[in-house]
Chain A
Amino acid sequence: MLQITNLHATVADKPILKGLTLSLNAGEIHAIMGPNGAGKSTLGYVLSGRPGYEVTEGSVTFNGEDLLGMEPHERAAAGLFLGFQYPVEIPGVSNVQFLREALNAQRKQRGEDPLSGAEFLKVARAQADAMGMDMDMLKRPVNVGFSGGEKKRNEMVQMGIIDPALAILDETDSGLDIDALRVVGDGINRIMRKPDKAVLLITHYQRLLDYVKPDFVHVLADGRITRTGGAELALELEEHGYAEIAA
């Protein structure tokens, strides 16, 4: 589904990714772990097309298509979803309005009919219910005044509504208490653990992986993957730290 080959990327002319190669197949959940500054968030931003993140070498294909040649909204329509580490507050824009426009923009790009207001609300309500989020919150401005946990929950509601093929989740577990962590973990499993979908979980900690069991764990250090293993690698990292394992 996703093939990253020898990816090099810079931010403000500073090299961050230095030859990263990674391959995700449908039906797989991959975790990327690594110390601060290793390039984890940069990878998420490069894959979703954030301005200012320049690819200097290498290639990325998504279902056989050149991902790097697409605009951010085209990547979304192609089925890529980025769960933000710091979901952005957008005053004055209601969640519901934004998500309906976003979903219908994606459907339009794919040549599908738009959902009516009623159809959309039905989908939105189901996803909000599943994440234990009040519909009133979904009507409020996007992330404004939300706690850290509520923002992450909102990301999962959005993911459920948009129903992507590939989710890149950037530290979706940070800022969550134990109960919220379970809710978010269950959400990831419910929405994304399907034979035709894949997930790239970017995380510092093993604890999310107690709820979402990865098929592969990769260590990202200094801009490239230095080790790959199964779920047990995460436990090993937790015990020994990155310094020892990543080297």
Chain B
Amino acid sequence: MSGTTTLPTHRDEAWRYSDIAAVKAAWPLPDAEAILVPANGHFARTIVQDSGAIHQLDIAIGKGATATVHVLNIGGNYGRVELNVTLHEGADFKLGAVQIGGDTQNLEIVTTVTHAEPGATSSQMVRSVLAGTATGTYLGKVAVARDAQATDSEQSVKAMLLDRSATANAKPELEIYADDVKCAHGCAIGELDPMGLFYLQARGLTPADAKKLMLQAFVAGVFEGAADAEMLTSRALEKLEELV
């Protein structure tokens, strides 16, 4: 993860599906941006990855503090957003992420959320839409330390494939050392419902608009509550429009 000193290979779990050639071209990576949210503080960040960049953030969330990150991962041939989050007592972390890729794009989001102390809550909601021969990956690790009782963690990961040639990788990973813990995770990879598409077209929508409307619904909700929700949604729609 952050602090990596040697060029990763596909044998490194966190880089298993990465475009290593692109990583090599960007090597050495700058230090991850370190963010400390003080006790009872609030932090929010929006990351739009639209240029084929690697973003790495280390976020430590103090006692009773909150952090919210919204990600839109859409640009460049290889784009990666990596978050390494540590929660202290009673802290809260929320991630809402959408990645949309077409052609030969390889987009990934990798999170490690560590519940270091008791009573912290975290949620990750990730939606990927992939067309062409694009690859979209979400690796989401949740680690709960031995004393981090009353942890509540939730993960919802869904991917929609618009072409059979596209690839979605999704890997939830739980590492739990405490015993009073609630960790819910759900993962689904699918295609647009053909009957739904026909229904919309039978009412007059063109095939492209019908797809767009269903995809819009698929990513809706991820950016709810974000300060930039409107910008994120309209950028996501623009990108979807290119794919349908």
Which residues of A are at the interface with B, using a C-beta cutoff of 8 A? 48-51, 71-73, 75-77, 81-82, 84, 87-93, 97-99, 101-103, 105-106, 109, 141-142, 158, 162
Contact = CB atoms under 8 A, between A and B. Distances in A.
Contacts of B200: 90, 98, 102
B198 A103 contact: no
A101 B205 contact: yes
A103 B193 CA distance: 22
A118 to B, nearest CB: 20
B217 A93 contact: yes
Interface in B204-234: 204-207, 209-210, 213-214, 216-218, 220-221
B199 A106 contact: no
B30 interface: no
* Chain B interface main SS type: helix
B206 A73 contact: yes
Given A92-B218, A92-B220, A93-B214, A82 B205 contact: no
B3 interface: no
Interface residues of B, number: 23
A72 B201 contact: yes
Contacts of B220: 92
A112 B111 CA distance: 50
Nearest to B220: A92
B203 interface: yes
Given A71-B201, A76-B203, A101-B213, 16 more contacts: A49-B202, A73-B207, A73-B210, A75-B202, A90-B196, A90-B199, A90-B200, A92-B214, A92-B216, A92-B220, A102-B200, A102-B203, A106-B204, A141-B217, A158-B203, A162-B204
